[in-house]
Amino acid sequence: MPRKRRTRKTSTSFQWSHILQSQRFRRIAAGLLLLGIVAGILQFTAPIRLREPLIWRIPLDKQTRDTHRKQLQALFPWYTIWYWLALFTPLRPGHYELRPGDNCMHVWNRLRKGLQTPIRFYLRPHRSPGQLAAALGQVLAYDSSTWMATFRHFPWEEKGFNSYTWPLLFLPDVYEVYWTISPQRLIEKMEDNYHRFWNEERQKKAYALGLTPIEIGILASIVEQESYRVSERPLIASVYLNRLRLGMPLQADPTVIYAWGNFSVNRVTHKMLEIDSPYNTYKRRGLPPGPVGIPSIESIEAVLNYTPSAYLYFCARPDGSGYHDFSESYQEHLRKARSYQRALERWLAQKK
């Protein structure tokens, strides 16, 4: 019996030794090794499955993010590990720009770590906090209600503003940010840009006019709404600066429209002039407590670099050009205003 067992063991060992030394086995082993090497290389070199560039935004809400999982999995070839990892790996919210030929591993690392592509957007002048919140909600991840809540509860005093003046911090400009930027972080970015804009030179011009940068912004917001003709804004600014120096009421229609709360109004009525509001510059002297909209850079520059004049009045030209006629006396202003009124009545009659 012992001799038979030794014989079987010797026989089995001989068979395995023979198999391992056979050329067929070596070919199979070499083939499997080569296949493994190729498969390993493919894991790190395979491109994603895209035919055209893709802008992909993974939202902040976790439940909504999970609905993007199939789309994520479809980016990767089935034979890569990234295809299978996409089944259960948590997705990071963000804005991602992908191109045909991008490497699977690199794309996976970007999505897993949340390495977003920055976005650029132009923040244009807006008339109200609601419009500003809606605009930010359209271009950034947080919705408009989140932005409005931030505007209401943010400690603006820490930034040198108050509940009336804070919109001036949002200077119209082109900004580059991450799509998921938080409201707090965006406000900090706006603050940095605001202080860069209000450099020493511009501050000196403001103080030479007897105004602070915030007061310049408030006046610029009025000038902004008075005319879409940028070339005449320095002269309009001159009118209001002259009125401020003389202690005259500004009597600016944009402030009444802002107090009324309806920005579709084209003509200010006598009823609107009676509204009791700190923004009604027909009833209150000086500047309103805050801007009547976010002024453009051009309007701020128009106030800082106003055209010196003795004008105290202006009204729209009757030719419908969008430009204004300026006057030094009230009598001259009334004559030009009547001419405009007659032209307006003719135009309204033709529309009927």
Question: Considering the domain boundaries, does residue 338 fall inside one?
Answer: no
124 and 107 share a domain? no
d(CA 180, CA 57): 10
Question: Considering the domain boundaries, does residue 320 fall inside one?
Answer: no
Q: List the pLDDT tens digit at each of the 352 positions of the chain.
A: 455 455 455 555 555 555 555 666 555 555 544 555 555 566 667 888 888 998 989 898 887 777 778 888 888 888 888 888 878 778 889 999 999 988 888 888 888 888 999 999 999 999 999 999 999 999 999 999 999 999 999 999 999 999 999 999 999 999 999 999 999 999 999 999 999 999 999 999 999 999 999 999 999 999 999 999 999 999 999 999 999 999 999 999 999 999 998 888 877 888 999 999 999 999 999 999 999 999 999 999 999 999 999 999 999 888 888 899 999 999 999 998 888 888 877 876 777 6
d(CA 211, CA 80): 65
Alpha carbon dihedral 262, 263, 264, 270, in 10-degree steps, equals 60
Domain encompassing residue 157? 119-197
State the CB neighbour count (10 A cutoff) for residue 236: 26
Residue 250 CA: distances (Å) to CA of 65, 211, 246, 267, 277:
52, 15, 10, 17, 14
Question: Considering the domain boundaries, does residue 7 fall inside one?
Answer: no
Per DSSP, the three-state class of 324 is strand
Task: Please calculate the CA angle 150-156-161 and round it to the nearest 5 degrees.
Answer: 135
181 and 215 share a domain? no
Site of tokens 């309806």: 262
Question: Considering the domain boundaries, does residue 316 fall inside one?
Answer: no
191 and 277 share a domain? no
CB 214 within 8 A of CB 198: no
Is pTM, for the whole model, over 0.75? Answer: yes
d(CA 131, CA 123): 11
C-alpha count within 13 angstroms, C-beta hemisphere, residue 192:
7
Per DSSP, the three-state class of 80 is coil
